[in-house]
């Protein structure tokens, strides 16, 4: 990819980004696509759970909680 793409798991709270690539495969990839995580989808990191994992993200008008393991396989471009 490129240096300006970061894993979604590293997006600071309150920041927005656009999805650029999914690096997972199989059922995990299918789940991400079903959630609407396709190229150029805007996402925003909203809040972390008290234990720090999972993190809540705003995706297409819905709030979705993703574990760090899942979010690390979604590359985004921070705005």
The pTM of the whole model exceeds 0.85: yes
pLDDT in tens, 18-63: 999 999 889 999 999 998 999 999 999 999 999 989 999 999 999 9
Q: How many whole angstroms from its chain centre is CA 13?
A: 12
Residue 73 has φ and ψ, to the nearest 5°, of -100, 10
Which domains are seen in the chain, by residue range? 5-78 (2.30.30.90)
């Amino acid at each position: 990819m490129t240096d300006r793409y970061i894993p979604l798991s590293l997006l600071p709270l309150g920041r927005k980004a656009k999805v650029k690539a999914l690096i997972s495969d199989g059922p995990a990839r299918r789940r991400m696509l079903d959630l609407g995580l396709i190229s150029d989808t805007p996402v925003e990191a909203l809040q972390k759970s008290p234990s720090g994992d999972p993190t809540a993200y705003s995706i297409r008008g819905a709030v979705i909680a993703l574990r760090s393991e899942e979010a690390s396989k979604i590359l985004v471009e921070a705005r």
